[in-house]
Structure 1
């Protein structure tokens, strides 16, 4: 358990979410060349999840339900990284929210989400550049 003055203890990267307009090429690269097997597919959302050691690489097609939430396709002026997730030590949600609010961090609502360790509660925050970081307790 992290101490009360700083309730965040980073343990590992849980997953990275990459937006793509070239799903087949991305699958060839990550699955066939790098050897990351497909763990889970949700084609209705446009999501393919690949196992990368203890982490997950999510591929999200830009013209899918999830992909459209991220804006334009990847390019010089369109982002490719949707978000990344950090595994953190166990925490009390209220303590974590208090800590983040004290530091003026933009925080979304906690929700049940799937990651490298399976389903669990997590929260999205934003860094100073507007990058989305998910914080999820390690099991």
Structure 2
């Protein structure tokens, strides 16, 4: 491990991505029971995004184009959580990459992705258990 200063300052949970075999039941639960309105619906991808306060809950249909990327259906031995995203303080991409690589964290390329504050650049990393964590810069208010 190198002696790099930590450029990561977590501000909030941006979004959670839940994979589902029973989209209608999940939609009724999050939209109708919990009161999270639909913010974006991308049926060609199998993705529906619901507003949950300052965060987003993504529902991904398992047998959709996007859902197939997450592996088999949620079960006792299958993942239900695709990934979660942390909003962090604004950062320089090069410094963040250097820091993460200095801690032997596997990183993917930065990409433009949609989240609770709209589109912005983010990066996927994995925790020691293989859970996917997205890091995305918080937009100035």
Taking structure 2 as the reference length, what is the TM-score of the superposition? Answer: 0.96
Cα separation, 1, equivalents of 2:92 and 2:105: 17
Cα separation, 2, equivalents of 1:15 and 1:85: 5
Cα separation, 2, equivalents of 1:21 and 1:106: 30
Cα separation, 1, equivalents of 2:47 and 2:107: 24
Cα separation, 1, equivalents of 2:60 and 2:73: 11
**Post-superposition offset of 1:127:** 0.2
Cα separation, 1, equivalents of 2:82 and 2:31: 20
**Post-superposition offset of 1:31:** 0.1
Does residue 105 of the first structure (1) align with residue 105 of the second (2)?
yes
Taking structure 1 as the reference length, what is the TM-score of the superposition? Answer: 0.97
Note the residue ranges of structure 1 that are not aligned, 5 or more in a row: none
What is the Cα-based RMSD across aligned positions, in Å?
A: 0.7
Q: Which runs of 4+ in 1 moved over 3 A?
A: none
Does residue 138 of the first structure (1) align with residue 130 of the second (2)?
no
**Post-superposition offset of 1:53:** 0.1
Which residue in 1 is equivalent to 2:62?
62
Does residue 91 of the first structure (1) align with residue 91 of the second (2)?
yes
**Post-superposition offset of 1:116:** 0.1
Note the residue ranges of structure 2 that are not aligned, 5 or more in a row: none
How many residues are paired up? 136
